[in-house]
Amino acid sequence: MSKKVFITGGTTGIGFELAKAYALEGNEVGVCGRDITKLPADYKKSYPTIKAYNVDVTNSEQLINAVNDFAPQGLDLIIANAGIGVGSKKRIPDFAAQRKVFDINVGGVINAFEAAYEKMMNKKSGHLVAIASVAGFVGLPGNGAYSGSKAAVIKLCESMQLDTRGTGLNVTCICPGFIDTPLTQKNDHPMPFLMPSHKGASLIKNAIDNKETLFIFPWQMKIVITLLDKLPRAFYRMIMSFKFANYSKE
């Protein structure tokens, strides 16, 4: 039986890889992004069950209208994937950029969940998924807003898993390491265990299908992050200060 699936940030990278995977199974898939011209020119021919919407995820009204248009009778799955990262090597952070990161990475997830929540509650079934990051478990030099926003998403999902018990809804938080996408291609630092986007999407889809509550991957990064997260904070700061000795001096 086909499902109604909506993916924010679904025009490129992981989002579009997920959209293709669900469409190839015969599901109806809605994707949104700030610029749907980023989709392949022939996507309608190759994936006729994908419908695209121009949406700014920080605008809750736009997102709600898109979801209502796509799934007026009910939605089975929403994947809040839209996100940005703005790093800095300066000791004085770009606070305007930090606010933008939180608006999109956290506000966008809240808006996506809001757009789907009532529809799912009405039919007592549905799946809310947020794409966070392993960066949400530790603070990283020059990436306070990104790490902080992803930490917020992780805890938001954890709380919603408790709030939705017994309702028929499932909540999944996905925490990838480095995946080869337009977002990570802008990075100017090493990216250990970098994974192709199609492989990352396959692992994410499998975790969603299995209704996992928290999925951290790849396994190597899960081990690294778990160890770093368990370190005494003073020791962690010492390691990070040594590792990124020159990172914040510019």
pLDDT tens per residue, range 100-114: 999 999 999 999 999
Helices 197-209 and 13-24 cross at an angle (nearest 10°) of: 60
CA distance linking residue 149 with residue 87, whole number of Å: 13
Rg (CA), the chain: 18
Domains, the chain, in order of start with CATH, read 4-243 (3.40.50.720)
pLDDT of 139 reads 83
Q: Which of 43, 47, 146, 247 is catalytic?
A: 146
Q: Please say if 247 is a catalytic residue.
A: no
Q: Please tell me the pTM assigned to this model.
A: 0.91
User: Residue 96: which pLDDT band, with cuts at 50, 70 and 90?
Assistant: very high
Tens-digit pLDDT profile for residues 182-228: 666 666 656 667 788 899 999 999 999 999 999 999 988 889 888 88
Partner residues linked to 6 by β-bridges: 30, 78
The residue among 233 and 73 whose pLDDT is bigger is 73
Nearest to 153 by CA among 105, 115, 117, 214: 105
∠165-169-174 over CA atoms, to 5°?
A: 100
DSSP-assigned letter for residue 36: G
Has residue 247 got a pLDDT over 60? no
User: Residue 237: which pLDDT band, with cuts at 50, 70 and 90?
Assistant: confident
Tens-digit pLDDT profile for residues 142-196: 788 999 999 999 999 999 999 999 999 999 999 998 888 766 666 665 666 778 8
